[in-house]
Amino acid sequence: MKQNAVFARTWYEDTAIAPPDFGQVALDDCAWDVGIIGGGLAGLTALLKLSQAGARVVLLEARSIAAGASGRNGGFCTGGWAADDAQILRLLGGKGAAAMEEIAEGGLLWMKERMHRTGWESTAATPGVLRVSLSGHGAPGDLDAQALAAFVKAPRYRHGAVSYEGVHFHPLNFMRLLAREALEAGGQIIEQAHVRGAFRTSRGWHIETSRGVCRAQQVIWAGGGYGEGDAPMLTSRILPIRTYIGVTEPLGEMVLRHIPTECAIGDTRRAGNYYRRLPDGRLLWGMGITAFGTLSIPKVKAMVLRDIAAILPGLADEMRSAGRGIDYGWAGNMAYAPHFLPLVGEIRPGFHALTGFGGHGMNTAPAAALSLVSQMQGNLGDPTPFSQIPRPPVFGILGRIAAEGSYRWRILQDFRAEKVSQSHQGQ
């Protein structure tokens, strides 16, 4: 277990503010309006909004708040969804795609408004996300390779675009502050409450947990890629996909020479690299996707060094000469549907889904939660675009095989595209 990257301690945990005091909640003595399963960003946002509206709500988390992807991700918050614009347009049409864009933008603004509040300074919100490509010619107005050198010394990058609408931040601190806000609004949180099953009765829903039975009129299943709760109607439609992050030792001026920008940086490959400088002079580096098993902590650290050398060879050489390595290596599970769009809405009477954000949840999870709560409260006259999103099955192990195969196919496509671009550049 100590070598399993899924349970590895993160840089965020070692630099986090203290969690709020959740107090003592007796599940068996209460009847709740809503029980929320999963203490990530989606679940906490729903808890906050329902509690602010006066509902009696409890959130059940199997481990600790933000122990999953919401508290151990790369710390990027940008617009859009995990699915690209063309995919959304194909599935939902022009009207649905426009509604999804508006919802995603609302989620980004909701996050940024909190990050900039007094008392939320520990989120360390920094504007700017640079999206770069290793192939192709880019769109009009994109930065070319020469202009990119002012941001990052990465010889393989061909073009890119920077947006200061996106931000990067400390996600675990954000989550702990959000949990505090939800508690102050009257919500209740119970950690170490592993959900064993949810069953409908004549008086609502019974949620069986390791801490007792929760009786609620409605349920929101906001689990991610960790299989929270026994909800086969959802787990049959969601795949747990794993990604990996490492953090270097403090690099001082060394990292500034090779990454002079304060922007976070990510490339356009489906499973490419994403990285950013941290306030203490370290470099956070994200990479890779696997659908099976997990990598050990030493393997993650070795992958980080390999990837840095492939993208930032000058920095890798300086790190090697100075004897600087990788201090942290961890993994996080993400919940994916085959089309990269979330499952949001009522699945059965009184049972609502809020999951499947596909590694792009820092704006979309709160956006979807706000939409779902409004729908539950009857504040939306028309169906949301989420009701139009297909809910195909993932076929268990076959789905994982397909996901792994798709990932590897995309790696080959990206490699070929880069080689083609290099050959054109040399002509």
pLDDT at 227: 59
Helix (H) or strand (E) holding 234: helix 232-235
Question: What pTM was estimated for this model as a whole?
Answer: 0.94
pLDDT exceeds 70 at position 180:
yes
Collapse the DSSP code of 253 into the 3-class scheme (helix H, G, I; strand E, B; otherwise coil) and give the result.
helix
pLDDT at 395: 72
300 in Cβ contact with 244 (< 8 Å): yes
Which residue, chain included where needed, has tokens 């098993």? 293
- Give the type of residue at 26: A
Do 5-17+25-74+172-238+338-394 and 126-167+240-334+403-426 fold alike per CATH? no
pLDDT exceeds 80 at position 365:
yes
- Distance, in Å, from the CA atom of 241 to the CA atom of 400, rounded to the nearest integer, reads 8
- Lowest mean pLDDT, pick from 9-18, 130-139, 229-238, 292-301: 229-238
- Distance, in Å, from the CA atom of 277 to the CA atom of 264, rounded to the nearest integer, reads 7
Q: What are phi and psi of 140, to 5 degrees?
A: -55, 135
pLDDT exceeds 70 at position 226:
no
Which residues make beta-bridge pairs with 247?
Answer: 284, 328
- Distance, in Å, from the CA atom of 170 to the CA atom of 12, rounded to the nearest integer, reads 7
Check whether domain 126-167+240-334+403-426 has CATH 3.30.9.10, yes or no? yes
What confidence tens digit (pLDDT) does each residue in 76-130 have?
999 999 999 999 999 999 999 999 999 999 999 999 999 999 999 999 999 999 9
Nearest to 222 by CA among 24, 396, 364: 364
Domain chopping of the chain, boundaries: 5-17+25-74+172-238+338-394, 126-167+240-334+403-426
pLDDT at 413: 82
What confidence tens digit (pLDDT) does each residue in 189-222 have?
999 999 998 999 998 999 999 999 999 999 999 9
- Give the type of residue at 397: I
What confidence tens digit (pLDDT) does each residue in 366-396 have?
999 999 999 999 876 567 899 999 988 887 7
Instruction: Show the tokens assigned to 359.
Output: 């590694």
Nearest to 319 by CA among 338, 301, 344: 301
Classified by CATH at the fold level, domain 5-17+25-74+172-238+338-394 comes out as: FAD/NAD(P)-binding domain (3.50.50)
